[in-house]
Amino acid sequence: MIIDAILKINPSAKVNVRGNDVKQITWLEETTPIAEADILAKQAELQADYEAKEYQRNRASEYPSMGEQLDMIYHAGQGGDAFQAAIQAVKDKHPKG
């Protein structure tokens, strides 16, 4: 989006953008206007970065929850002594019914 590109260039920019159109920008409160070419270049950069990180979004949706991951570590005995003791203390305090 145009506003995202503007705010990446100038995080304190005060601006209105109509229709996500670089030609429909109103600069407010003495914000120095940013050249259209610079905005479009930043927008392309942000889009490329988003597309390059698709694998991260795909992985995040498929990983087990953090709680499930920690439980796997605990049950596999791979968390180290301090980790094992801390988890066991909670399990002892709140046993399964």
Sequence spans of domains, the chain: 2-60, 65-93
Task: Calculate mean pLDDT across residues 63-71.
Answer: 90
Whole-number Å distance between alpha carbons of 74 and 88: 9
Using a 10 angstrom Cβ sphere, with 0-12 exposed, 13-18 middle and 19 or more buried, the burial of residue 84 is middle
Beta carbons within 10 angstroms of residue 35's beta carbon: 10
Instruction: Please provide the average confidence, as pLDDT, over all residues in the chain.
Output: 92
- pTM greater than 0.75: no
Q: Per residue in 18-44, pLDDT tens? A: 999 999 999 999 999 999 999 999 999
Q: Which residues are registered as beta bridge partners of 17?
A: 25
**Is the pLDDT assigned to residue 52 strictly greater than 90?**
yes
Q: How far apart are CA 6 and CA 17, in angstroms?
A: 10
Q: Distance from CA of residue 39 to its chain's centroid?
A: 21
